């Protein structure tokens, strides 16, 4: 009788195993070029692609711009040098010049300034000297100027005043922060330093720089300040998304504004929206603005809806509001079709929304596809990655008539002769009331040369958010194949609360973080144990951020795991008011502290320390303001006081993520050493 191989006892095949003599390592991972977003030329005949490379020991990578022929008639050519990092490329309307930011890699105090490069030859010409550098730029349609985003300092809202304040602060020995604002830190920086983005008109004929929003104190997105504004097709108006802190209640809100290029006060056009409005884009004919809108300001993962604003009548109308997925990264094609990406079922696809349609159609799918960029010739460019493959640029066609195809090969050869295990996908029933018939999806990654004759040690990876996914993507910070490389089977469950299955699936865990996700993660574990794929005596779990919260919750509710890895995890919900953004915490945690601690303490990992005995590796970055680093110190201190085996890995120069190559390599070394220590041979 034929016995079904262990690897085929669960789910369906997503990616087959890749044979090779080498195993994936952290050092190899950092040798892979990081391919950025494509920027097609106005005529669609050429494409510029940023590519970042890293050197172990250096604090940051170097990004160079490469130019490619759309028809593949010439090899890719680097157009910026390796002694400076380049970004925010933007083609001139006639395609003869490229604007981009440039910053020398050997000068830590230098700020990125805007440069122009003639593509028929010559050296880049620096065209700005702004005290805090340039964030982003867009050309005006006539090619005689650009709109440039750059920071100024609040209460010093001119270029000259900001420059003087920067010089004063550099010489001031006092570095104290003082504030009365509810939001005073964000991610890894203090907002008390007062930097706010302004939009400037740079006249290339005269060299004059004029502030378009001289009194603005709104922020752009701190994690990605690019793409936050657009220029009308006639060049007479600018639209941008600005984030401010309202007085009553003291909450962050994002609105869409427009301002004339000739000057005047910005006009807020979405003041009546209930939550956030963002990413304004002009229609090609200039009659409308489209923007994204959410309905719930206390649920950060509320799905985006697309609205249209009529510039003549001043009226707003829904365009794509009933679709149950959440679009992002939208841009207009020249014919008025809106293209964007959206998550769906642990993948990210590219869609097109036609004029008159209320739901989009698929242009390209499979793996994780980045925001699409349409070209004048009807092609659409986007990044493509999977668990098996790092990001590269692919392209499809606007009508979706032919399958998308690979376009770049910057990472070709990086994984040559590297063995990768098989990747499968399976589902378990979702837990809890109201989840009748719903399924929780999970990927399972097998190690290279997997021994199919006996159960393997296991690592259950729990994603952060909690409203996010472990998708079919090549994650550099939590790479599933690198976790599997020593011989572990790895699962990536997308528990209830994950995105890409609609708003209800994501929102239903609000106020009960420890309930359904814990049951779902354990159900995935049980499915793999019951199938004989993993060894129930050699189980481990690892997670970061919310995944770290789940590590603490699991430690207090089960002793089935041999060890745990807790990166930047929420440990004590009562002390999480030290986080940077407290808006929405009552919904997440179940209540406010001043209303009685019972609700907010119900799903608090720190409440269950009496039952904790699982060895835990605790990791944190000191510059993490999203999950304050004291959360790790509380966790580690309690475990050590109890006598639970624990190890602390502390990065004084990292934030919520570990981003420096040498620190990341140490991170993977510590994680692998911890897993090996507790998942060693435990046979009787």
Q: How far out from the chain centre does Cα 268 lie? A: 27
Domain 423-578+587-678 bears CATH identifier 3.40.50.1820 = yes
Q: How far out from the chain centre does Cα 166 lie? A: 30
> 605-639 burial, b if ≥16 CB within 10 A, otherwise e?
bbbbbeebebbbbbbbbeebbbbbbbbbebbbebb
pLDDT at 469: 97
pLDDT at 681: 64
Summarize pLDDT for 215-251 with one digit per residue, the tens: 999 999 888 889 999 999 999 999 999 999 887 778 9
Query: Two tokens at 568?
Result: 């930047």
Give the Cα-Cα-Cα angle 317, 319, 325 (nearest 5 degrees).
Answer: 135
End-to-end CA distance of the chain: 30
CB 424 within 8 A of CB 527: no
Helix (H) / strand (E) containing 231: strand 229-231
Distances (CA, A) of 245 to 6, 214, 292, 338: 55, 18, 19, 31
Q: Where are the domains of the chain?
A: 141-170+177-321, 423-578+587-678
CB 532 within 8 A of CB 359: no
CB-count burial class (<10 Å; 0-12, 13-18, 19+) for 540: buried
Helix (H) / strand (E) containing 481: helix 480-484
Summarize pLDDT for 401-425 with one digit per residue, the tens: 899 999 999 999 999 999 999 999 9
Q: Flag residues of the chain having pLDDT under 70.
A: 1-4, 681-684
| CA distance linking residue 316 with residue 68, whole number of Å | 40
Could you tell me what percentage of the chain is helix, strand and coil, using 3-state DSSP and rounding each to the nearest 5? 15, 35, 50
DSSP string, 512-559: -TTSHHHHHHHHHHHHHHHTTSEEEEEEEEEEETHHHHHHHHHHTT--
Distances (CA, A) of 678 to 202, 459, 488, 532, 645: 60, 11, 12, 20, 11
pLDDT at 2: 42
| CA distance linking residue 193 with residue 84, whole number of Å | 27
What secondary structure letter does DSSP report for 597?
Answer: H
Which strands make up the sheet holding 267-268, listed edge to edge?
229-231, 237-245, 252-260, 267-268
CB 290 within 8 A of CB 312: no
DSSP string, 363-374: EE-SSEE---EE
Q: pTM (2 decimals)?
A: 0.96
| CA distance linking residue 324 with residue 305, whole number of Å | 9
Q: Do the strands 277-282 and 267-268 form a parallel or antiparallel pair, or are they unpaired? A: unpaired
CB 448 within 8 A of CB 421: yes
Cis peptide before 466 (omega within 30 of 0): yes
Summarize pLDDT for 305-342 with one digit per residue, the tens: 999 999 999 999 999 999 999 999 999 999 999 999 99
């Amino acid at each position: 009788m034929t016995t079904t191989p262990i690897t085929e006892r669960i789910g369906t095949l997503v990616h087959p195993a890749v044979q090779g003599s080498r195993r994936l390592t952290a050092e190899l991972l950092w040798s892979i070029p990081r391919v950025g977003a494509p920027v097609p030329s106005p005529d669609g005949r050429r494409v510029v692609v940023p590519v970042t490379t890293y050197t172990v020991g250096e604090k940051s990578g170097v990004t160079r711009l490469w130019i490619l022929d759309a028809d593949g008639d010439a090899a890719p050519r680097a157009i910026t040098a390796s002694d400076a990092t380049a970004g925010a490329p933007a083609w001139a309307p006639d395609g003869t010049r490229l604007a981009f930011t440039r910053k020398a890699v050997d000068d830590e105090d230098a700020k990125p300034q805007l440069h122009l490069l003639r593509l028929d030859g010559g050296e880049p010409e620096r065209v700005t000297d702004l005290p805090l550098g340039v964030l982003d730029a867009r050309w005006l349609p006539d090619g005689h100027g650009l709109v440039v985003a750059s920071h100024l300092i609040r209460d010093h809202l001119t270029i000259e005043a900001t420059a003087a304040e920067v010089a004063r602060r550099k010489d001031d020995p006092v570095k104290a922060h003082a504030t009365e604002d509810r939001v005073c830190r964000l991610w890894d920086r203090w907002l008390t330093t007062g930097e706010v983005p302004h939009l400037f008109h740079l006249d290339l004929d005269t060299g004059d720089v004029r502030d378009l929003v001289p009194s603005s104190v709104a922020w752009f997105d701190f994690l990605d300040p690019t793409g936050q504004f657009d220029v009308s097709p006639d060049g007479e108006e600018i639209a941008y998304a600005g984030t401010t802190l309202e007085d009553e209640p003291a909450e962050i809100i994002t609105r869409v504004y427009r301002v004339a290029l000739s000057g005047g006060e910005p006009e807020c056009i979405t003041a009546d929206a209930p939550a956030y409005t963002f990413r304004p884009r002009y229609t090609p004919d200039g009659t409308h603005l489209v923007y994204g809108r959410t309905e719930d300001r206390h649920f950060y993962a509320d799905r985006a809806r697309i609205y249209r604003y009529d510039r003549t009548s001043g009226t707003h109308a829904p365009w794509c509001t009933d679709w149950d997925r959440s679009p992002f990264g939208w841009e207009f094609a020249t014919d008025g079709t809106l293209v964007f990406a959206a998550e769906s079922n642990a993948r990210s696809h590219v869609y097109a929304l036609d004029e008159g349609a209320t739901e989009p159609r698929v242009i390209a799918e499979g793996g994780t596809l980045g925001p699409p960029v349409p070209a004048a010739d009807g092609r659409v460019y986007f990044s493509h990655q999977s668990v098996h493959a790092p990001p590269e640029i692919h392209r499809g066609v606007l009508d979706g008539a032919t399958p998308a195809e690979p376009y770049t090969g910057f990472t070709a050869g990086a994984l040559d002769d590297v063995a990768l295990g098989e990747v499968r996908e399976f589902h378990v029933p979702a837990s809890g009331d109201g989840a009748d018939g719903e399924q929780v999806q999970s990927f399972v990654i097998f190690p290279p040369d997997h021994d199919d004759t006996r159960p393997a040690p296991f690592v259950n990876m729990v994603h952060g958010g909690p409203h996010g996914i472990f998708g079919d993507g090549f994650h550099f910070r939590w790479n599933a194949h690198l976790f599997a490389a020593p011989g572990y089977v790895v699962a990536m469950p997308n528990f209830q609360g994950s995105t890409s299955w609609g708003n209800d699936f994501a929102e239903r865990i609000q106020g009960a973080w420890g309930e359904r996700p814990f049951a779902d993660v354990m159900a995935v574990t049980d499915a793999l144990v019951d199938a004989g794929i993993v060894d129930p005596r050699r189980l481990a779990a690892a997670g970061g951020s919310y995944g770290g919260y789940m590590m603490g919750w699991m430690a207090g509710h089960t002793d089935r795991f041999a060890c745990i890895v807790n990166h930047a995890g929420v440990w004590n919900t009562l002390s999480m008011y030290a986080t940077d953004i407290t808006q929405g915490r009552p919904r997440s945690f179940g209540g406010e502290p001043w209303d009685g601690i019972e609700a907010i303490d119900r799903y608090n990992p720190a409440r269950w320390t009496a039952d904790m005995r699982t060895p835990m590796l605790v990791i944190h970055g000191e510059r993490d303001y999203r999950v304050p680093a004291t959360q790790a110190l509380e966790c580690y201190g309690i475990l050590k006081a109890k006598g639970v085996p624990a190890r602390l890995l502390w990065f004084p120069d990292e934030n919520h993520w570990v981003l420096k190559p040498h620190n990341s390599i140490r991170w993977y070394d510590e994680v692998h050493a911890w897993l090996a220590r507790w998942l060693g041979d435990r046979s009787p």
